[in-house]
Structure 1
Amino acid sequence: MEPREWVRSLEPRGVSARSDRARTLVICFPHSGGWAESFSTWREHIRRLDGDVDPPGVELLAVQYPGHGDRIAEEPETDVRVMAEAISAELAALDPVRSLLFGHSFGAMVAYETARLLERAGTAPAALGVSGARAPSAAPAVSHDVAALPDERLWRRVVELGGVDPSLAEDPELRELLLSALRADITAHGRYVSAPPVGRLGVDIRCYLGSEDPLVPGDVGPEWAAWTTGSLATRVRRGGHFHLFENPRDLLADLLRERVGAGSGAAA
């Protein structure tokens, strides 16, 4: 697939899985201040799982928000609905294949709204994975007030949560680039939950939470049941807010299962 403005393949150049064999697309939505390439480490895990899931043939895609990653020169967007409209339009234009949306933290809100629009257009995803996030009606883990913190305090908080590689945490140029996008994402999250969508999604939801997450308690998974007429499965995994990068293999194996069973459980 050729790179698009919002959605791009994370497969190495010239090795895109969009062939006759590609039957499942995993589309990832980053956290506040995050960028599409943060999910690149998932490629090898998916490659090892490919063939063990049904159906085989998986391509990893991710969303790049304006003001993030290689779109750093653009003005960040502060409206989740505007973001979802652009993303869903690109996804709806792809060849019809099985798709799985996965959003982490703030990305869970964007993924949920995107799933709603895709369902309305008749191209609903097979399942929605949400991670490190409360349901759309709940107060966000990072309050709107945090966006107004001075640069130093806001940056320190992000670093403490593990949202920035420690080797890059002292880079002043990186900090300047990321803080603008981070503030916009926090603002967008707050606006979305202050006026949550009306109605429920008809797609199965899989909720992944970190057992040691300082932002989102491990017992909030059931909140998502009110937001879908499909099944809900909750998995509490070892790790903090960024558990999805600490041990992604089991999460991906669960996400790629053909069907989701209702209930809750624990995963490694």
Structure 2
Amino acid sequence: MADPQALRELWLRQYHPASDGAPTLVCFPYAGGAASYFHPLSEALSPGVRVLSLQYPGRQDRRAEPVRTDLHALADEIARVLSAAVDGPVVFFGHSMGSTLAYETARRLADGPDGERVLGLVLSGRRGPSTVRHETVHLRDDAGILEEVVRLDRGSAALLADPDIAGMVLPVLRGDYTAVETYAPREGVRLRCPVSVLTGDADPQVTAEEAGAWAGTTDGAFRLRTFPGGHFYLNAQRGAVNAALVEDLAAFTRPARV
């Protein structure tokens, strides 16, 4: 096993200080995303919450590493990192691909000596794993992949119009889309922790029924909240999403009544 501090520096980013005893929120980025996406969230919740953002291989300061194209293999890696490099109980927050990855990582921890460490999941912008859509974005040419990204996040259009930026992010996008579109859930561990789902009412990637399918993944409590907006509704609804996260963190970390 690698040195825990080295693993933490490689995989996790903490942008702001946290108070002693603050709950730990581990954030899982979307396809094509990076740890820095959660910098505003970290700033908003500090110092009451310790926000740790995962940095997947292949992007930003890890761009020299190969992008992982197997979501199960990436979940295996992340579970090992969190077991070795992060102490105490944690809550997971994922968006889009990050939601599926958070779920699979939680399943791995639940099946080992860290079984009680994951206090709850907050999953955003993603269908429950029992739902199936046939998606082939990862098989498109470069222009087709960029077209899909802009369809889901129109704010990215100007940035991706720059050929240098597009050329830099395309390998990450293709790898991440491969991972999420070839993903299939495996039989095995069922979660016991609560699951909270956040979704946009106009998200073309997730219907209300598909978001509600996450209820079937856990024996714990389930909650579904809907916000105005599309796939990246959380950009425009940042304050409301932050408030929902604080509410869920309080519920997940509240001592059980005897």
Task: Establish whether TM, by shorter chain, passes 0.5.
Answer: yes
The number of residue pairs the alignment matches comes to 243
1:35–1:69 Cα contact (<8 Å) kept: yes
> Percent of aligned pairs with the same residue?
33
**Paired position in structure 1 for 2:210:** 220
**Paired position in structure 1 for 2:145:** 154
Does 1:74 pair with 2:59? Answer: no
3-state SS, counterpart of residue 40 of structure 1: helix
**Paired position in structure 2 for 1:256:** 246
**Paired position in structure 2 for 1:263:** none
TM-score scaled by length of structure 2: 0.85
Q: Which amino acid aligns with 2:26?
A: I
Q: CA deviation at 1:164?
A: 5.7
3-state SS, counterpart of residue 168 of structure 1: helix
Q: CA deviation at 1:213?
A: 1.0
CA distance in 2, matches of 1:188, 1:232: 26
After the TM superposition, list the runs of 4 or more consecutive aligned residues in structure 1 that deviate by more than 6 angstroms.
none
Does 1:139 pair with 2:139? Answer: no
3-state SS, counterpart of residue 209 of structure 2: coil
CA distance in 1, matches of 2:49, 2:43: 11
3-state SS, counterpart of residue 126 of structure 1: strand
Taking the TM superposition and a 5 Å limit, the aligned residue runs for 1:157-196 are 157-162=148-153, 165-193=156-184, 195-196=185-186
> Structure 1 residues 190, 153: CA separation in 2 closer, same or farther (over 3 Å shift)?
closer
Q: CA deviation at 1:94?
A: 4.0
Does 1:120 pair with 2:111? Answer: yes
3-state SS, counterpart of residue 136 of structure 2: helix
1:7–1:90 Cα contact (<8 Å) kept: no
**Paired position in structure 1 for 2:227:** 237
> Structure 1 residues 89, 98: CA separation in 2 closer, same or farther (over 3 Å shift)?
same
**Paired position in structure 1 for 2:9:** 4
Q: 94-103 or 202-211, which moves further after superposition?
A: 94-103
After superposition, the C-alpha distances for 1:134-189 in whole angstroms (9 at most, x for unaligned) are 1123225xx54211111112112212211763441211111112111111111111
1:204–1:230 Cα contact (<8 Å) kept: yes
After superposition, the C-alpha distances for 1:94-149 in whole angstroms (9 at most, x for unaligned) are 45433110111111111001111222234331110111101123225xx5421111
> Structure 1 residues 75, 163: CA separation in 2 closer, same or farther (over 3 Å shift)?
farther
CA distance in 2, matches of 1:197, 1:243: 32
Show structure 1 runs of 5+ residues with no match.
Answer: 51-56, 261-268
3-state SS, counterpart of residue 5 of structure 1: helix
3-state SS, counterpart of residue 41 of structure 1: helix
- Normalized per residue, the structure richer in helix is 2
